[in-house]
Amino acid sequence: MSSKPIPPTTVDHLLGNISQAVIDVLKKAAQTGWDFFPPHTFNYKQDNLATVNNPYFLHYPSFATAYSAGKATGQGEGVDIKWRAHVACWAAHNAAKLQGDFVDLGVFHGGLAALVFSYLGPKAFKNRFYHLVDSWSDYEAGLLCEAEINSGIKPPDYNYEDCFNEVKRNFKLPFFKIHRGQVPEILRLIDSRPLAYISINMACAAVELAGAERLWPSLVKGGSILLDDFAFPGHQTQAQAFYEFAAQRGVEILVLPTGQGLIIKN
Ligand SMILES: C[S@@+](CC[C@H](N)C(=O)[O-])C[C@H]1O[C@@H](n2cnc3c(N)ncnc32)[C@H](O)[C@@H]1O
């Protein structure tokens, strides 16, 4: 593995070189609810991912309970993201063996935090905080790039105010610390603490990168950064930024078929 930054042209090539034929087949499949393929072709078919591989985690009782807890927050109503949720549970389970707080940058309704908390249980938070960081307000003007705006990152019907009040009601246990403010500035409240798990889901490359740069020194060895939409279509700006971030720190991003990116600090 090279620790040198990847030249932008190489990354563009990697991200942009999907054949039109493949795109057309996938579009057709998505439009027809994946029924374009013969019945029972896939063992998993949601959230832009269809595979014949076995999603064993769907049979873990702890996963089912945790997934329901995440859904109960109202986040992603009508949309299922079970494989992404499984990855988050895995990263959190790994981090729970380490000393250090947990952080969600980009909380929205708190679906991910509720999932992770339910999966690990309160004992995992006996000696750590779970920081929920979000502005619960509109994006600051000029931060989203054109590709991000075009991919519909900020639907006009988000009601952040209601969402904030809900989060305050739903996350009352003492180890949850709710921080309302703009990343990266608000991170001054937590960046002196050791961190074991950082989930980043703010869907804006500039802000996500600033958050990761600010918190990286606090991340303990073996701790993880989970990027929710790293390989999503329309998020190439974010992928470019994080490839450079990772290369500068000598770590590699695990690109997952769910669209997530996973970094373990080693
Ligand atoms: C669009 S939501 C993420 C939604 C998520 N992808 C989902 O599937 O529900 C992005 C979140 O990041 C937060 N956010 C965006 N920019 C931020 C910033 N500079 N500081 C703190 N939070 C921010 C927003 O308030 C919002 O709750």
Structure tokens at 88: 């988050």
- Its domain, for residue 207, covers 55-264
Would residue 78 count as lying in a domain?
Answer: yes
Residue-level pLDDT, tens digit, the chain, 266 residues: 444 555 555 555 555 556 677 777 777 777 776 666 676 789 999 999 999 999 999 999 999 999 999 999 998 888 999 999 999 999 999 999 999 999 999 999 999 999 999 999 999 999 999 999 999 987 776 677 776 777 666 655 566 778 999 999 999 999 999 999 999 999 999 989 999 999 999 988 999 999 999 999 999 999 999 999 999 988 899 999 999 999 999 999 999 999 999 999 99
The count of residues in the chain is 266
Question: With a 6 A CB cut-off, is 134 part of the ligand 1 pocket?
Answer: yes
Residue 110 within a domain: yes
Which residues, other chains included, contact 138 with Cβ-Cβ below 8 Å and sequence gap of 6+?
Answer: 154, 160
Let me know: does 147 contact 237? Beta carbons within 8 Å: yes
The backbone torsions φ and ψ at residue 206, rounded to the nearest 5 degrees and listed phi first, read -60, -45
Domain count, the chain: 1
Q: What is the residue type of 169?
A: R
Is 131:214 a contact under the CB 8 Å cutoff?
no
Three-class DSSP category at 42: coil
Closest atom, ligand 1, to C-alpha of 79: 8
Contact between 208 and 235 (Cβ < 8 Å): no
Instruction: Residue 110: give its domain's CATH number.
Output: 3.40.50.150
Please tell me if the CB atom of residue 74 comes closer than 6 angstroms to any atom of ligand 1.
no
Please give the pLDDT value at position 24: 75
Residue nearest to atom 27 of ligand 1 (CA): 108
Instruction: Please choose, from the candidates 149, 131, 126, the residue with its C-alpha nearest in 3D space to the C-alpha of residue 200.
Output: 131
How far is 56 from 47, CA to CA, in rounded Å? 17
In a domain, 24, yes or no: no
